[in-house]
Chains A and B, each alone.
Chain A
Amino acid sequence: MRIDFEDWKSELLAKIDTELKYGSSLGADGVEIYLSKTNSLHMNFNSGLIDVKQGGSIGVGCRCLSNNKIGFASASGISDSEIKFAVKTALNVAKVSQIDSRWVSFVQNHETGKEGIIDTAILELSPEEVTKNTLAIYNEAKKVDSRIGAVMIDTDVSYGVIAVGNTEGIAKASANTSYEEETYITAADKGKTKSSIGFSYGRKVPHFEDEGTSVATKAINLLKSKPLNHSGQIKVVLDPMATGFLIETALSNSINGKSVVEGRSAFADKMNEQVGVSFLNIYDDGQLFEDPKTHSIDTEGFPCQKTPIIKNGVLQNYIFDNYYSSIYGSKNTGNARRRGHQSYESLPEIAPNPFSVDPDSKDLNGLVAEIENGILINTYMMGLHTANPISGEFSVVAPYVHKIEHGEITTPLESITVAGNLYEIFNQIIAVGNETELTPSGKIPSMAFEGFSISG
């Protein structure tokens, strides 16, 4: 099926132009219309049981301003009647709302950032191909060992366009393509069950070389895991995925401009101060062209950009949308996001873009080689999102762990608990790796830390 994103963009922008006029004719002081149109193919493969679905998600979200009061309404579908419903309802909601004395305006900036990679192969990908990729992973995994239990493979392929326009005169659109795949494999022996996870994440159709074999082998190896029988502070190395989740959790509240304005950010009084080791450079990267979340504009129509957050260990910027940047008196960083799989149902809120971290000089083995006695944590730590966002304290479980002895990765371990403070981790980094990977948190290298309390 041939899809021309330029046609989609023109279609959405034409609707925005018409319906902004409709909003003004109803007497709104300002109108913003957000449209999104996405096609998706989802396949869930559960040890031989295949669930597949396909469809188009399409809808409108509208903010209306009336006497400095804001209302929002949304509707699935973008027919004239659905958009008119959203505009009219948003205006009615605004009329019964409160005056917002901090309101300034909708986005007025006419520039755009750059579009991410558009992979036309994704647009033409057939369900048969996705099924064949999936079965290849499954068959590989099953060959590894008779103790392999469940093999679950989840694939999400999508592409779409968002468009935003407002009565300040902007009208912009942006496209993206996305391929996400997750393989979850269990291994069971003598009443013990272990699991392992593999991911593919990007804007292109990935190559699945050895994914089934490698994830299955990891699960089998974990069957040999032993308890650590130790508690205390010990050096840890986190792979890119685990590092990404940790950085994202530590920064998503602390650099959020809204939390800063409202005094709920641990970094509220740390601007231009040293918050991490001097060799650390982290960016909120709205222009990471290989990441599926990247667009040329944010969901209010502001251009996306790459914003330095921590430079040489010093806090450089918070992230903002239009509303909070004007309250704080800072520049908008293009971080207005609308959450959920039907993004048009959500109001824009400040959220980080994918992060990127400047790589340093050693690969994962190099990081491990420096450590006499430590632990390697893969994939993620369970429950990190329950960390106290204000105090930063966390106490979580790491399920995929290996011991590091004399500079080498050795025995797999039973899950361990890891405790620390999210806002101290940047000072606890002892080394940053050189191999960045695209993870769901951004483009991230492995990192080594000291000072976490480990128990297991």
Chain B
Amino acid sequence: MFDILQNMIKKAESSGADFVDARYDSLTINEIVKENGNITRFKTSKRSGIGFNVYYHGATAYAFSADLTPDALEKSIISALKLAKDIAPLNQIKSEIDPQDPIKVNLIYNLKEPSWLAEPKEKLDLLARMESSAKENAQDIASLVARYGEFGGEKYFTNSEGTEIYWNPYLIDIDCQISLKHNGKLLMGGDGRGGSVGLEYFKQPGLTPEDFGKNAAVWANEKKQAKKTPAGENRALIDNFLGGVLAHESFGHLTEGDLVISKGSPLHDKIGKNLASDVVSIIDEGVMQVTESICPYFLPYDDQGTKTTKTVLLENGILKNFLNSRSTAKFVSGNLTGNSRAIDFTFAPIPRMKNTYFAPGNLKSEAEALEQLGTGIYVINTKGGQVDLSGDFMFNAARGYYVKNGEIQYPLSEVSLMGNVFDFLQNVEALTDELEIYSGYFGGCGKGGQAPLPVGLGGPKLVVNKVRFGGESK
């Protein structure tokens, strides 16, 4: 494959290209969805193709092809070169890169039980166990959805410098969503886990399909006792997952190099400035050691052949770094961070996050965090939300509890929180000392039409003052 790609690179160079990145991505995707006991989706997809990013006089252009015949590839790379030549005279910000020494990498996965080698029967069995556990723990089930998703494959990267990188991306996800009928309303609960792990991960205590099914049922069931969320400003304890979503969605995107260069991000001129309370640090990292609580996405190299780093974005409240591709790193005189990523061969890489998380703090336990919270709202997980480039956010939590004097009192029904991330970050008082990281096949990050790109996110629990909660219509 490297020979085929290098042949094409030579052809483009001899026709005038300044530099070429070439990729071959091949993924096999397996997905099983059961709804109320019926299999409603059982599929296998093979997604393979080649993409060329061609640099010409400060312009870059991308072309891709699923057709791997030599003629189609040549047509593709020449069309990218033509695009770049067309754009070059009109381009106002030059896209340039500093030279790097070539590297050769051949990184084979190291897993006990790779999911893509398991029989379909084994995957159906995981879902069946999750379903029975959910059913044992809930009555009045209106709907029960059990999902299994996985991909595994190969990535080849090479470029004009002669770098050659081969590695295996992989990701697995299992989850359970349940809704119960109660007084004419449907109450929802869900649990699951995903990341770059093998099937052995789901044999650990607390992380089995039985645990996910039971939690989904219990969390839906407890909403029978739920009361209304007190609207307006409250103190809040934000759980590890929702904290990670905030770090990623409302802060992380603003550190992405393309938005920094165009000044679309309000952070473009804020390196070295204080943006958060001094207990807050935010990190973006490519490769993390898997543990029971840390279930990241494995990303050793980005799609421009840069080794991923542990990138400190915020350190004790001070903005330290942006997330870069090779061209944005040159433009902002920043570090190469390995954040140039594409979702598949049909897209050019753009600055995207890796595993993004709040660094742990000093609170020793959930109990200590609740004590620090005093009276307020404990917000857990999210069903979705929306953010914009000003840092404004709106999230709908999956669960919430009212807390009085450090004690959980009762569950809350609809919990939505909103505000501006920069106020939020200044209002963080304390963080717990543990770290949880989540990733998954279902869900992911969206940007520039590329969704869902696998990422990881998480952190500790955060005690935050003055969080605005939305009211309900009645």
Interface pairs (25), CB distance under 8 Å: A46-B259, A49-B92, A50-B87, A54-B61, A54-B79, A55-B346, A74-B46, A75-B45, A76-B66, A79-B67, A93-B44, A94-B42, A152-B262, A154-B448, A341-B449, A382-B386, A382-B392, A382-B394, A383-B384, A385-B384, A393-B472, A393-B473, A395-B414, A395-B473, A397-B392
Is there a chain A Cβ closer than 8 Å to B4's Cβ? no
Q: Do A100 and B38 touch (CB < 8 A)?
A: yes
Provide the residues of chain A in CB contact with B51, threshold 8 Å: 55
B66 contacts A59, CB within 8 Å? yes
Residues of B within 8 A of A193 (CB): 266, 389-390
- 0/1 string, A95-138, CB within 8 A of B gives 1: 01110101000000000000000000000001110011001000
Q: Does the CB pair B142–A44 fall under 8 Å?
A: no
- Residue of B124, B389, B394 near A186 (CB, 8 A) is B389
Which of B38, B43, B44, B448 has a CB less than 8 Å from the CB of A98? B38
* Distance of A100 Cα from B38 Cα, bound (Å): 7
Contact B394 A383 (CB under 8 A): yes
Closest to B473 in A: A419
Say yes or no: A93 contacts B261, CB within 8 Å.
Answer: no
Give the distance to chain A from B155, nearest Cβ to Cβ, in Å. 15
Is A383 a contact partner of B45 (Cβ separation < 8 A)? Answer: no
Query: Assuming A52-B62, A72-B41, A388-B414, is B264 touching A152 (CB within 8 A)?
Result: yes
Q: Mark A159-203, 1 if CB is under 8 A from B, else 0.
A: 000000000000000000000000010101000011100000000
Question: Which listed residue, B43, B66, B264, B472, touches A58 by the CB 8 Å rule?
Answer: B66
Interchain CB contact under 8 A, A100 and B39: yes
Across-interface contacts of B46 in A (CB, < 8 A):
73-76, 82, 85-86
A73 pairs with B471, CB closer than 8 A? no
Known contacts A263-B142, A397-B392, A420-B473; decide if A50 and B90 are in contact (CB<8 Å).
Answer: yes
CA distance A48 to B263 in the complex (A): 10
Which residue of chain A has the shortest Cβ distance to B452 in the bound complex?
Answer: A340
Query: What residues of B have a CB within 8 angstroms of the CB of A98 in the complex?
Result: 38-39
Check if A405 is an interface residue, CB within 8 A of chain B. no
Is A410 an interface position by the 8 A CB rule? no
Q: Considering the complex, which residues of chain A in the window 36-64 have a beta carbon less than 8 Å from any beta carbon of chain B?
A: 42, 44, 46-59
Q: Decide if B392 touches A399 in the complex (CB within 8 Å).
A: yes
Q: In the complex, which residues of chain A have a beta carbon less than 8 angstroms from the beta carbon of B385?
A: 383, 386
B374 within 8 A of A: no
Extra pairs beyond A264-B143, A386-B396 (17, CB < 8 Å)? A46-B261, A48-B92, A50-B59, A55-B51, A56-B65, A58-B66, A72-B41, A77-B48, A85-B46, A186-B389, A195-B388, A264-B186, A341-B346, A342-B346, A383-B385, A386-B394, A419-B473
Q: Is the CB of B93 within 8 A of A48?
A: yes
User: Does B348 belong to the interface (CB within 8 Å)?
Assistant: yes
Give residues 385-418 of B contacting A (CB, 8 Å).
385-386, 388-390, 392, 394-396, 414, 416, 418
Contacts A46-B262, A264-B142 given; indicate if A55 touches B63 (C-beta within 8 A): yes
Contact between A126 and B86 (Cβ–Cβ < 8 Å)? Answer: yes
B49→A76 contact, CB < 8 A: yes
Bound: A59/B396 CA distance, A: 36
Distance between A379 CB and nearest chain B CB, rounded to angstroms = 11
Residue numbers in B under 8 Å from A73 (CB-CB): 43-46
A236: chain B residues within 8 A (beta carbon): none
Chain B residue numbers with a CB within 8 Å of A156 are 449
Q: Tell yes or no: B36 within 8 A of A by CB.
A: yes
A253 → B minimal CB distance (Å): 12
User: What residues of chain B have their CB less than 8 Å away from a CB belonging to chain A?
Assistant: 29, 35-36, 38-39, 41-49, 51, 59-68, 76, 79-80, 83-84, 86-87, 90-93, 95, 120-121, 124, 142-143, 179, 185-186, 188, 258-259, 261-264, 266, 346-348, 350, 383-386, 388-390, 392, 394-396, 414, 416, 418, 448-449, 470-474
A79 cross-chain contacts in B, Cβ below 8 A: 67
Alpha-carbon distance A44/B449, docked complex (angstroms):
11
- Tell yes or no: A455 within 8 A of B by CB: yes
Tell me the total A-B contact number using a CB cutoff of 8 A: 231
- Shortest A124–chain B CB gap in Å is 15
CB distance from B414 to the nearest CB of A (A): 6
Chain A window 361-384, contacts with chain B (Cβ cutoff 8 Å), 1 for yes, 0 for no: 000000000000000000000110
CA distance A74 to B84 in the complex (A): 32
Interchain CB contact under 8 A, A93 and B120:
yes
Q: How far, in angstroms, from A345 to B395 measured CA to CA in the complex?
A: 30
**A71–B42 contact, CB under 8 A?**
yes
Residues of A within 8 A of B44 (CB): 72-74, 89-90, 93
Cβ of B418 and Cβ of A397 under 8 Å apart? yes
CB of A70 within 8 A of CB of B42, answer yes
B47 CB contact (under 8 Å) in A71, A345, A417: A345
Roughly how many angstroms separate A90 CA and B42 CA in the complex, as a whole number? 9
Cβ-defined contact, A53 with B62, below 8 A: yes
Q: Which A residues are within 8 Å of any B CB, using their own CB?
A: 42, 44, 46-59, 70-77, 79, 82, 85-86, 89-90, 93-94, 96-98, 100, 102, 126-128, 131-132, 135, 149-150, 152, 154, 156, 184, 186, 188, 193-195, 262-264, 341-342, 345, 347, 382-383, 385-386, 388, 390-391, 393-397, 399, 415, 417, 419-421, 453, 455
A419 to B143, CA, bound (A): 27
Task: Judge whether A47 and B263 touch: CB under 8 Å.
Answer: yes
Residues on B with beta carbons closer than 8 Å to the beta carbon of A100: 38-39
- At the interface, is chain A mostly helix, strand, loop or mixed? strand
B189 to chain A: closest CB distance in Å? 13
**Residue among B142, B384, B414, B473 with the most chain A CB within 10 A?**
B473
Question: B42 and A97: CB pair below 8 A?
Answer: yes
CB-nearest residue of chain A to B27: A76
Min distance, Cβ B392 to any Cβ of chain A, angstroms: 7
Chain A residue at smallest Cβ distance from B62: A53
Closest Cβ of chain A: how far from B323's Cβ, in Å? 15
> In the complex, are the beta carbons of B43 and A72 less than 8 A apart?
yes
- Return the chain A residue nearest B229 by Cβ: A395
Query: A382 contacts which chain B residues (CB < 8 A)?
Result: 386, 388, 392, 394
A186 to B389, CA, bound (A): 9
Give complex CA distance A51, B5 in Å: 22
- Rounded to whole angstroms, the CA-CA distance of A456 and B131 in the bound complex is 44
A70 to B471, CA, bound (A): 45
A394 to B394 alpha-carbon distance, docked (Å):
12
A217-B270 Cα distance, complex, nearest whole Å: 27
Residue on B with the closest CB to A197? B388
Does B470 contact A417, Cβ atoms closer than 8 Å?
Answer: yes
Min Cβ gap B223→A in Å is 12
Q: Report B-chain residues with C-beta under 8 Å of the C-beta of A42.
A: 449
CB < 8 Å neighbour of A51 from B48, B65, B92, B348: B348
- Among residues of A, the one whose C-beta sits closest to the C-beta of B181 is A263
Question: Does B471 contact A395, Cβ atoms closer than 8 Å?
Answer: yes
**Given A49-B95, A131-B86, A77 contacting B67 (CB threshold 8 A):** yes
Residues of B within 8 A of A149 (CB): 263-264
What CA separation (Å) do A94 and B65 show in the bound complex?
A: 30
Top 3 closest pairs, chain A to chain B, by CB: A48-B92, A47-B262, A150-B264
Q: Contacts of A188 on B, CB cut-off 8 Å?
A: 266
Is A131's CB under 8 angstroms from B90's CB?
yes
Chain A residues with Cβ under 8 A from B66's Cβ? Answer: 56-59, 76-77
A57–B76 Cα gap in the complex (Å)? Answer: 12
Instruction: Report how far A2 CA is from B348 CA in the complex, Å.
Output: 26
Instruction: Indicate the member of A154, A156, A186 with the most B CB atoms within 10 Å.
Output: A186
Question: Contacts A152-B264, A262-B36, A397-B394 hold; do A46 and B83 have CB atoms under 8 A apart?
Answer: no
Q: B347 near A49 (CB under 8 angstroms)?
A: no
Evaluate contact between B472 and A419: CB separation under 8 angstroms. Answer: yes
Residues of A within 8 A of B384 (CB): 383, 385-386
